[in-house]
Amino acid sequence: MTDAGTTTKRRAPEAILVDLELCKACGICVEFCPQDVFDRDPLGEPVVARLDDCTTCLFCERHCPDFAIEVRRAASAADQPEGEG
Amino acid sequence: MPQPRRLVQGNEAVAEGAIAAGARFFAGYPITPSTEIAEVLSRRMPQVGGHFIQMEDEIASIAAVIGASLAGAKSLTATSGPGFSLMQESIGYAAMAQVPCVIIDVMRGGPSTGLPTEPSQGDVMQARWGTHGEHSIIAFVPSSVMECFTLTVEAFNLAEAYRTPVIVLSDATVGHMREAVALPTPDELRIAPRGEPDVPPEEYDEVMSTVDNILPRPALGSRYAVHVTGLVYDRARGGAPATGTPAVAEGLGRYLREKIYHHRDAICRVEEIGMEDAEVAILAYGSVARSARAAMRWARRQGVKVGLVRPITLWPFPTVAVDHLAEQVRTIIVPEMNLKQFSWEVQAAVRGRAKVVDHGRVDGKLIRPEEIQALIKREFYYHRWEETA
Amino acid sequence: MSALVDEELVERPPQDVSLPRIEPHATPEVLSHLRSPKTLWCPGCSNGIVTRALIDAVLSLELEPERTCVIAGIGCAGRITTYLKWSTVHTAHGRALAVATGVKAADPGLNVIVVMGDGDCVAIGGNHLIHAARRNIDVTALVFNNSIYGMTGGQMSPTTFEGDRSTTSVYGNVEQAFDICELAHAAGATYVARGTPYGYTRLAQLIAGGIAHKGFAFVEAMVSCPTYYGRQNGIPDPSAMMKRQYDRSVPVDKFDRDGPRLHDRYPVGVLHHAERSEYTAAYAEIVARVQGEAGDRA
């Protein structure tokens, strides 16, 4: 896992949307979230449990193999640095 | 206004026919006795703003031809038996995915390495069924240098009209012979353009060809998004793979067949000489038809009623012509430089209504008129034959 | 070092390449470039991640979708043709680079991207790979290397490592794996790069660099097949597999290229970069010269 060094905490997004029609419950988003935002439901699908801990790193959105996750940025997303990884 | 009369080699005529038809892409691999086609086109393609590439093998060659055709260029390759064998998978791909292209097979002795510099007609069945799966094909068989030119032009026209690969079955004799011809110029020829569908891009995915209205596929890189695959696909959904829908698979398979067979009367060409009152016919194609014509003339000079039926397209099989033949004559002689490949089909179509006499040769030597004359003599047992040829 | 003798071949150190900037797009934008986002790829198969990286690369380069086509072979990777909205050609197995050669030669202005699995690229397609690289034709080969034949149920591939199990090496593979980046380089590819789905933005950048490069670009993505490679080789969990692909990667400037080849260490980044005569440009010069000479004689 890359170490981004010291970062200021980025703002939490407005929402993390998971399209369960596309999700195949592979677990990548849950396993790699650096802030442990997700839990897994009995089917293995991700559940957004701790949205406020999310730093909008966008790892889950980019590494979902099924295009099932959208991290809807907060209103002033423009002044956020790019996510790592 | 035709070009001046000059000695032209059969293979050279094929190359010039392709250029006249608007072919602007050739990919091939050298193989005797077809190599001259590649050599001529390597020189001619830059002259006409086209592209020549010598690929690493025949498999790559037919694949590149398919790619260039999808990108909008009329494309061809040229080979002989061993290369034709290598190309079969992708010929089937072109049939399945409906990619217009022309494959020249200058037949030589086979199977395998066989007789590289000698003629045969051994690829007749392979042209029909060489690739796996149920499909239909169009195959022309020239028997003169001029036909090497004109049938190559026609091959491109039919490839465009029916969105199919078309095979031209030449052979080492026809390919390497030279005859004095005045090759036509493009303005004297009928040349079918590629065309574009007349629906806007947004509607293209749902519009389907019918056997009476075969729509051209737009080129890659045009304003249409095009999806091409060798899997069974749904023509009503932009060609998306549909391997899980039996009805779509059946519909596609039958369409691909009917696309050509529905038009067999327009596609099949047969030349008939001396058939008005013939009692016996010779059915011969390619270089053998030249010997057959000589034998027929020899018989006619002696007052014996023999005619010649010369298929110019081998596939689709000329069912209508053979049907009429079976009703008219008592014997059909089918000489071929193979062992009964086409005569079996003739026999099936004749259904016992006439006698079918086959005559085969696989030694790499052209069937001579005398061999056919001997077969004719047997059919007119009581005729007093003069010994002069 | 390439075996080609060519005075215009200038091998540049990989760090010399300035790679395009990647702007990862949000999911709705990515979805708008897919005909159908419901893929047949297994849960945890990283093919979808590389597909997204390809979309991000193409969008970041601002390529015209109409002038971009993806040509893919047979296998799980090849199914990308079903999902992308841009023009796609799903070729016969192993023939994608040969088809792409025809496409590019007939219309050199097209952006041609060739997607292949490891089997499609270096088993049945090996001959076409070395010749496309030799010609330095301006297409971008993107290889999804999962070291297995997934679509047909888990057989070994030329990139399966010695000792690995597969359905056709049930006692352990006795063959060695290709280093397909070195193969492409030796054959003449002028841009060679490798990345992992874990390193998403970097992978998208390497792909974009390949597309932007004028010449034969070869990009290897080390993808994971948890269902067949993973289950047969003790690493069935998708996250663990993806992490392992990443942990085995070493940035190229830190990689010991003179050391012995190891299956669990490989360099990532731009591995080779050179400038050399590109095939379609060289042929166009011939055409111009021939037609110019004809004009002079007319």
Tens-place pLDDT, residues A17-73: 999 999 999 999 999 999 999 999 999 999 999 999 999 999 999 999 999 999 999
| CA–CA distances in Å: residue B122 to residues B143, B148, B311, B312, B362 | 15, 19, 16, 17, 8
Decide if B158 contacts B26 (C-beta within 8 A).
no
Give the model's pLDDT for residue A11. Answer: 84
C2 falls in which pLDDT band (50, 70, 90)? very low
Decide if B67 contacts B101 (C-beta within 8 A).
no
Give the model's pLDDT for residue C5. Answer: 53
Percentage of chain C beyond pLDDT 90 is 88
Task: Name the amino acid, one letter, at B53.
Answer: I
Q: For the domain made up of C2-297, give the CATH fold.
A: Rossmann fold (3.40.50)
Does A82 have pLDDT greater than 70? Answer: no
Do B240 and C35 count as a contact with CB atoms less than 8 A apart? yes
Give the model's pLDDT for residue A84. Answer: 42
Does C216 have pLDDT greater than 60? Answer: yes
Nearest to C200 among A26, A27, A62 (CB): A62
- For B178-216, b/e burial (b = at least 16 CB within 10 A) is ebebebbeeeebeebebeeeeeeeeebbeeebeeeebbb
Nearest to A28 among C44, C52, C201 (CB): C44
Strand partners, C275: C10
Distance from C30 to chain A by nearest Cα, in Å? 8
A8 falls in which pLDDT band (50, 70, 90)? low
Give the model's pLDDT for residue C14. Answer: 79
> Residue C15 has what DSSP assignment?
G
Give the model's pLDDT for residue A7. Answer: 54
Name the interface residues of A facing C (CB cutoff 8 Å): 21-22, 24-28, 31-32, 58-59, 61-67, 69-71, 73, 82-83, 85
* Closest CA in chain C for residue B59: C95
Percentage of chain B beyond pLDDT 90 is 94
For residue B316, say if its preceding peptide bond is cis, omega within 30 degrees of 0. Answer: yes
Does C89 have pLDDT greater than 50? Answer: yes
Distance from B246 to chain C by nearest Cα, in Å? 19
Do C27 and A61 count as a contact with CB atoms less than 8 A apart? yes
Does B388 have pLDDT greater than 90? Answer: no
Query: Mean pLDDT score of chain B, rounded to an integer?
Result: 96
Distance from B380 to chain C by nearest Cα, in Å? 54
Distance from B142 to chain C by nearest Cα, in Å? 28
Q: For the domain made up of B271-379, give the CATH fold.
A: Rossmann fold (3.40.50)
Angle at B352 between CA B351 and CA B354, to 5 degrees: 115
Give the model's pLDDT for residue C17. Answer: 84
Percentage of chain B beyond pLDDT 70 is 99
Residue that is written with structure tokens 């192993």 in the block: C94
pLDDT, tens digit (0-9, with 9 covering 90-100), for C222-246:
999 999 999 999 999 999 999 999 9
Give the model's pLDDT for residue C6. Answer: 57
Domain boundaries, given as residue ranges, for chain C: 2-297
pLDDT, tens digit (0-9, with 9 covering 90-100), for B5-53:
999 999 999 999 999 999 999 999 999 999 999 999 999 999 999 999 9
Residues of chain C contacting B200 with CB distance shorter than 8 Å? none
pLDDT, tens digit (0-9, with 9 covering 90-100), for B340-354:
999 999 999 999 999
Average pLDDT over residues C93-107: 98
Name the interface residues of B facing C (CB cutoff 8 Å): 24-25, 27, 46-47, 49, 51, 53, 55-57, 59-61, 63-73, 75, 89-90, 93, 219-231, 238, 240-241
Does A79 have pLDDT greater than 80? Answer: no
Nearest to B67 among C35, C101, C291 (CB): C101
* Closest CA in chain C for residue B239: C82
C-alpha–C-alpha distance, residues C177 and B267, integer Å: 52
Query: Which residue out of C200, C237, C241 would a mutagenesis test of the A interface target, given it has the greatest number of A Cβ atoms within 10 Å?
Result: C200
Do C27 and A63 count as a contact with CB atoms less than 8 A apart? no
Name the interface residues of C facing B (CB cutoff 8 Å): 35-36, 65-67, 69, 71, 81-82, 85-92, 95, 98-107, 109-110, 127-128, 131, 283, 286-287, 290-291, 294
C257 falls in which pLDDT band (50, 70, 90)? confident
Give the model's pLDDT for residue A2. Answer: 44
Nearest to C239 among A21, A31, A83 (CB): A31
Domain B6-188: give its CATH superfamily.
Thiamin diphosphate (ThDP)-binding fold, Pyr/PP domains (3.40.50.970)
Give the model's pLDDT for residue B3. Answer: 80
Do C24 and A82 count as a contact with CB atoms less than 8 A apart? yes
Nearest to B90 among C81, C92, C287 (CB): C92
Give the model's pLDDT for residue B196. Answer: 85
Domain boundaries, given as residue ranges, for chain B: 6-188, 206-264, 271-379
Average pLDDT over residues A2-21: 76
pLDDT, tens digit (0-9, with 9 covering 90-100), for B134-183:
999 999 999 999 999 999 999 999 999 999 999 999 999 999 999 999 99
Do C106 and B241 count as a contact with CB atoms less than 8 A apart? no
pLDDT, tens digit (0-9, with 9 covering 90-100), for B185-233:
989 999 999 888 889 999 998 889 999 999 999 999 999 999 999 999 9
B307 falls in which pLDDT band (50, 70, 90)? very high
Phi, psi of C170 (to 5 degrees): -70, -20
pTM, rounded to two decimals: 0.95
C8 falls in which pLDDT band (50, 70, 90)? low
pLDDT, tens digit (0-9, with 9 covering 90-100), for C51-66:
999 999 999 999 999 9
Residues of chain C contacting B240 with CB distance shorter than 8 Å? 35-36, 82
Size of interface A-C (CB pairs under 8 A): 71
Does B370 have pLDDT greater than 70? Answer: yes
